[in-house]
Amino acid sequence: MTDYKNFTVDADKDGIALVTWDMPDRSMNVFTEEVMNELEAIIDHVATTEAIKGAVFTSGKETFSGGADLGMLQKMLGLFEKEKNKDRKKAIKLLFDNAGRMGWLWRKLETCGKPWVSAINGTCMGGAFELSLACHGRVVADSPAVKMALPEVKVGIFPGAGGTQRVPRLANTQEALQMLTTGQTLSPQKAKAMGLVHQVVPPKKLVEAAKKMILDGLKPVQPWDEKGFKLPGGPVYSAAGANLWPPAIAILRRETYGNYPAATAILKCVYEGLLVPFETALTIEQRYFTEIMQTTEAKMMIRSLFISLQELNKGARRPQDVPMRKFKKIGVLGAGFMGAGIAFVTAKAGIPVVLVDRDVPAAEKGKAHSASLMDGLIKKGRATPEDKEKLLSLITPSDDYAALDGCELVIEAVFEDSEVKKGVTEKAEAVLKPSATFASNTSTIPITSLARNSKRPKNFIGIHFFSPVDKMMLVEIILGKKTEDKALATAMDYVRAIKKTPIVVNDTRGFYVNRCVLRYMQEAFSMVIEGVPAPMIENAAKMAGMPVGPLALTDETAVDLAQKIMKQTIRDLGPKAVDPRHMELIDTLVDKYGRLGRKNGKGFYDYPERPAKKHLWAGLKDLYPQKKPEKVDVEELKQRLLATIALEAARVMEEGIVTDPREADVGSILAFGFAPYTGGALSYIDGMGVKEFLAMTKQLQKKYGKQFKAPALLHDMAEKGETFYQRFAPETGAKERKAA
């Protein structure tokens, strides 16, 4: 039998071939060109070997497969970009052919004349799930570790290897559309209930059950290839179809505002594909996939949310010459909401943590937050009581700083006051070893100034979490002027250990994320003052692709916090640093009306008791003369809200606060949801083109003020025809940071 690098093929006495996928040089199986070539050879071997009655496909790793390797997508897009300027038709044909390779290989498998069963033992994503759907039988291990999804829409593309055609031929059309357009992750039970898998069995009996399906006479023909096949959700042109398709189109429009071409293409693929024979449907899917791969949205989302995100999660910016650190003990100072959240994610990563507060009851209250979060996970079926007990055993509440002895990293998350932070820093350093790293979770105070409280500023760093800590995936790592590579490496190793995404930021007021967020809120304040109806502001933000309107976001972070930040900014930088109109608006809300935000049930919104929903405060319209809605340009509102953030991101790059465009883009999406379809705040500019962006902001500056004045960097880039990813070509490690 032929030897394969990535697979083993073993036939048993019953003539069933067990095809085990186990890539020797990867922690997770992924599709590469080599894997595809070997798999095609295996399909041919199974089909032509008389002694083989059928095949079971499984993984030799804990996970099944993560889907396609990013290198395949990069190569596909790279070939297209290279050829399109020479011969666009030829380039599109090349892209079309490459886009169809996987889909037609899976078709070859399901029509080869022998039964195939996929035995899914772990995470099964993208093309791997599409391969499983092409198999004639699917058996799944009954384990919380098993997750199945077609998540491509989340990176700007869609399942292009038959996913849009097989899912709605196996499942109810409505459920199929929801799964495909959201990238929904399925548990074994959910997948079975939808009709996407046949059996859910104990993990140890997985392969045995898969083989039994073949021995019991599994037909080597898919349902849609048999005469008389009926769609589970009924025909498109039927009463059921008439009740489904118009609302489905409207719901997608409501959820995406037309910003995600791939989601729209999914609807078209399913609708058109269900009207024609299966192979014609695959061609339709291939055509739309080729079209979507050429969009700016796909290019930017693949780069930021697939490639850059993976690179950052793997430690692209970590100093390479510092040994990796595994943590045996971590300290958290302050058991309030943030500190308690940090303790939770640390313990969830299996790391023992000491949670220190002013007294034991306060520290115990912080530990109770972890218990409450675990109770929520248990209720949702995502954790067990044993998991809760194990996690809580890793958290030691204390009021004694001596308990920090032996900690390799201590994270301070006390009240946002320099003097309070000074006191806890000194107490902690009296106990810690000289080699330990001290981190502050401050969101506003410059790290360099806080490091003056430390006897070893080279080991002092900022680790800025976002609220709520357990849900927010981004962490800003802030470098003080004296922070050394060892502290940076320690911080990055910790952030990666708790499975969050780190970005590295040089020290400045507000760091990176908060600078951008404040611009977003401030532009909304200007709109309120101009008399733009508040509902139009919030709706324009959502239409632009933001998950939360700027007024709602101000409420979430607290209106009185915005007031404190403004007052502190005036004290530090002078009265010209804050727009006096903004100060007056916020003072009116806080001081005159006592509207502090969600925390006291009233801010820009009113927050009635459930089940009533929050709604914009009716009194807002009485603060300033209101414009008539028909006189407001909604497209301009969208431009203002996105451009003000993008300009701030460009200023941050110009100042050397962020030095890697990957971090600026990924950070803007993960921290505050900057219109993901753009690929992030800098990709928004790159995707539009710097010259076009400058023309737009010049018009906005004329009408609305200096906040839209573009930095010199953008003018220089426009003159040279550069993008951010050309100007600031991403590198790795300490070399780039020191050169910045």
Q: How many C-alpha atoms does 610 have within 13 Å on its Cβ side?
A: 0
Tokens 């600031």 correspond to 728
Respond yes or no: is residue 476 known to be catalytic. yes
CA distance 480 to 487: 10
State the angle between helix axes of 88-110 and 127-134 in degrees (0 to 180), rounded to the nearest 10.
50
CA distance 310 to 453: 36
**Where are any strands of DSSP class E within 554-657?**
605-606, 615-616
CA angle 166, 170, 175 (to 5 degrees): 100
Tokens 């203002």 correspond to 640
In the set 198, 369, 464, 582, the catalytic residue is: 464
| Tokens found for residue 285 | 């899917």
Alpha helices (H) along 3-54: 33-48
In the set 514, 526, 668, 683, the catalytic residue is: 514
Respond yes or no: is residue 259 known to be catalytic. no
Respond yes or no: is residue 143 known to be catalytic. no
In the set 476, 484, 538, 663, the catalytic residue is: 476
Instruction: Provide CB contacts within 8 A for 122, sequence distance 6+.
Output: 59, 61, 62, 63, 64, 141, 143, 145, 146
Q: How many C-alpha atoms does 345 have within 13 Å on its Cβ side?
A: 24
Length of the chain: 740
Q: What is the DSSP letter of 597?
A: B
Given the DSSP bridges, would you call strands 460-464 and 116-120 parallel, antiparallel or unpaired? unpaired
**Helix or strand (DSSP H, E) at 430:** none
In the set 98, 441, 443, 668, the catalytic residue is: 443
CA distance 560 to 734: 39
CA distance 224 to 566: 64
CA distance 723 to 686: 6
Instruction: Provide CB contacts within 8 A for 361, sequence distance 6+.
Output: none
CA distance 334 to 271: 55
CA distance 675 to 673: 6
Tokens 């996913």 correspond to 163
Among the listed residues 426, 365, 185, 312, the one whose alpha carbon sits nearest the alpha carbon of residue 665: 312
Among the listed residues 82, 106, 104, 103, the one whose alpha carbon sits nearest the alpha carbon of residue 94: 82
| Tokens found for residue 453 | 């409280």
**Where are any strands of DSSP class E within 128-262?**
137-141, 148-149, 185-186, 199-201
Among the listed residues 253, 164, 247, 146, the one whose alpha carbon sits nearest the alpha carbon of residue 200: 146
Respond yes or no: is residue 38 known to be catalytic. no
Neighbours of 190 (CB within 10 A): 16
CA distance 556 to 545: 19
Burial of 250 (0-12, 13-18, 19+ CB in 10 A): exposed
CA distance 230 to 242: 17
Burial of 171 (0-12, 13-18, 19+ CB in 10 A): buried
> Which residues are bridge partners to 322 per DSSP?
none
> Which residues are bridge partners to 274 per DSSP?
none
Tokens 């807002």 correspond to 620
Contact of 116 with 54, CB cutoff 8 Å:
yes
Q: How many C-alpha atoms does 143 have within 13 Å on its Cβ side?
A: 19
CA distance 164 to 281: 9
Among the listed residues 686, 615, 699, 718, the one whose alpha carbon sits nearest the alpha carbon of residue 308: 686
Among the listed residues 551, 613, 608, the one whose alpha carbon sits nearest the alpha carbon of residue 585: 551
Residues marked as catalytic: 443, 464, 476, 514
